[in-house]
């Protein structure tokens, strides 16, 4: 049975990973509009819980037929799997979604711009998971939408020095290069708001009828949806931390490291089995010229989604709010790896 978009709208959304770091705020955003029926797929062994309005289906991701059963009738699938989930799991899910007739698949990317996978900034990245996930959807015959939202701001600020370079406890930061390169970044809440607006669009322009000149979901079929809440440099982040913590820049130990040297250092640590080395090399690449700078397409997509209306705040205020949230998460004992 194929899916059932009614009135040219997406009505049924399935989500995998809806209880995770990004999945939780994203699901909250989707539930804040009552226009969709949301089904969360979750592993049989999972202890995840979901709000009562969500239909929950425990599914074995190694069983194509169980996945097809669970996904039949869904219009759109959001895949937000834990990083390092074996790629075969993603592939099985994607193939089942296509077999079930799911019209649009947002693969488990949620970060970079896959069109830059072979660019000078990223071509030496040994992993390239996002590009692989998109390829899996394409090869299965599905329609993919890659969400490029940059490095998650709160996560990257507080998780480890290997990410945005901040050791919050030790009040130290390592600037990559001069620390002034601005990259696109988004908070989880903003990504949720963008996706909520995206799934509320009409599906097809033709079906919406003559005279409609707004955006439609199909505009992003086999394309990237660019989301950038703000453009920040590491120096901007330090200033934000100083404002939020009421500290002075002089209280921070500031180090500088050449970006390429940091990429190599990260790769070496990764080769020695230290997964933070992976993060170190990944983030250092992200600060190369052109790697995470997609402000133009993000501005265009924000216009098309009507996000500019909610974007009224000054950049400094938005960054400070996200900084404050990140610090609160740490104070509240946040566990980024709770899904096991
Ligand atoms: N842009 C960035 O800065 C950034 C940072 C980190 C990650 N990411 C991307 O975002 C994606 C989601 O990351 P996240 O941190 O939100 O994920 P997460 O919270 O670690 O995990 C998401 C969900 O995956 C499911 N899961 C856990 N282990 C699994 C396994 N072995 N097999 C299948 N499912 C499993 C769990 O759902 P159930 O318990 O319900 O089954 C979990 O809630 C990643 O794939 C990565 O590509 C981006």
**Among protein residues, the one whose CA lies closest to atom 20 of ligand 1:** 82
Give the 3-state secondary structure of residue 148: strand
Give, as one character, the DSSP assignment of residue 228.
-
Which pLDDT score is estimated for 2?
A: 46
Angle at 6 between CA 5 and CA 9, to 5 degrees: 70
Token output for 210: 């003559």
- Distance (Å, rounded) from C-alpha 193 to C-alpha 114? 22
3-state secondary structure of 225: strand
267 Cα: distance to centroid of ligand 1 (angstroms): 23
Cα 32 → chain centroid: 19
**51, 80, 139, 153 from 32: Cα distances, Å:** 12, 19, 34, 22
Spatial separation of the C-alpha atoms in residues 292 and 299, rounded to whole Å: 14
CATH 1.10.3470 fits 152-186+229-331, yes or no: no
- Atom number in ligand 1 closest to CA 46: 39
| SS (HEC) of 32-73 | CCCCCEEEEEECCCCCCCCCCCCEEEECCCCCHHHHHHHHCC
Q: Output b/e per residue, 171-191; b: 16+ Cβ within 10 A.
A: eebbbbbebebbbbbbbbbbb
170-209 tens-digit pLDDT: 999 999 999 999 999 999 999 999 999 999 999 999 999 8
Tell me: the pLDDT tens digits for 120-130?
999 898 779 99
- Domain 12-148+188-226 is in which class? alpha beta
- Closest-CA residue, ligand 1 atom 18, reads 82
69 C-alpha to ligand 1 centroid (Å): 23
CA of 272 to the centre of ligand 1 (A): 24
Given a cut of 70, the residues of the chain with pLDDT beneath it are 1-6, 309-312, 340
Pocket test for ligand 1, best of 14, 18, 22, 334 (most atoms within 8 A of CB): 22
Ligand 1, CB cutoff 6 Å, lining residues: 17, 19-23, 42-43, 46, 48, 61, 80-83, 85, 89, 108-111, 151-152, 155-156, 339-340
Give the long-range contacts of residues 215-223, CB within 8 A, separation 24 or more.
215/304, 215/305, 217/10, 217/76, 217/104, 219/304, 220/145, 221/104, 221/143, 221/144, 221/145, 222/138, 222/143, 222/144, 222/145, 223/145, 223/146
**Ligand 1 atom nearest to 152, measured from its CA:** 3
Q: How far is CA 213 from CA 208, 219, 296, 304, in A?
A: 9, 12, 21, 10
Q: Which is nearest to 30 in space by CA: 75, 60, 70, 68?
A: 75
Find the 24 Cα to ligand 1 centroid distance in Å.
11
- DSSP code per residue over 258-301: -HHHHHHHHHHHHHTT-HHHHHHHHHHHHTSTTTS--HHHHHHH
Query: Where do the CATH 3.90.25 domains begin and end in the chain?
Result: 152-186+229-331
- Residue ranges of the chain assigned to CATH 3.40.50.720: 12-148+188-226
């Amino acid at each position: 049975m194929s899916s059932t978009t009614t009135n040219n709208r997406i009505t049924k959304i399935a989500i995998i990973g809806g209880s995770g770091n990004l999945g939780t705020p994203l699901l909250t955003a989707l539930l804040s509009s009552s226009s969709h029926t949301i089904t969360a797929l979750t592993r049989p062994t999972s202890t995840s819980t979901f709000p009562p309005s969500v239909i929950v289906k425990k599914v074995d991701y190694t069983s194509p037929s169980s996945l097809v059963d669970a996904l039949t009738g869904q219009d759109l699938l959001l895949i937000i799997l834990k990083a390092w989930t074996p790629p075969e799991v993603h592939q099985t899910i994607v193939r089942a979604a296509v077999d079930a007739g799911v019209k649009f698949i947002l693969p488990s990317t949620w970060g970079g711009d896959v069109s830059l996978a072979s660019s000078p900034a990223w071509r030496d990245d040994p992993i390239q998971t996002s590009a692989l996930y998109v390829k899996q959807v394409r090869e299965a015959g599905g329609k993919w939408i890659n969400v490029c939202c940059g490095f998650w701001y709160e996560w990257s600020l507080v998780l480890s020095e290997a990410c945005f370079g901040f050791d919050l406890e030790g009040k130290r930061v390592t600037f990559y290069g001069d620390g002034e390169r601005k990259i696109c970044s988004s908070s989880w809440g903003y990504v949720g708001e963008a996706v909520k607006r995206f799934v509320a669009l009409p599906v097809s322009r033709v079906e919406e009828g003559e005279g409609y000149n707004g955006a439609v979901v199909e505009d992003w079929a086999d394309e990237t949806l660019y989301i950038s809440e703000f453009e920040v440099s590491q120096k901007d982040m330090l200033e934000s931390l100083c404002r939020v913590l009421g500290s002075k820049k002089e209280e921070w130990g500031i180090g500088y490291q050449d970006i390429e040297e940091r990429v190599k250092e990260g790769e070496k640590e990764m080769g020695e089995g230290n997964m933070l080395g992976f993060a170190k090399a990944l983030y250092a690449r992200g600060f190369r010229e052109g790697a995470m700078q997609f402000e133009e397409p993000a501005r265009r997509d924000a216009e098309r989604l009507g996000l500019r209306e909610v974007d009224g705040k000054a950049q400094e205020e938005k960054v400070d709010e996200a900084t404050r949230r990140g610090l609160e998460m740490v104070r509240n004992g946040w566990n980024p790896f709770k899904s096991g």
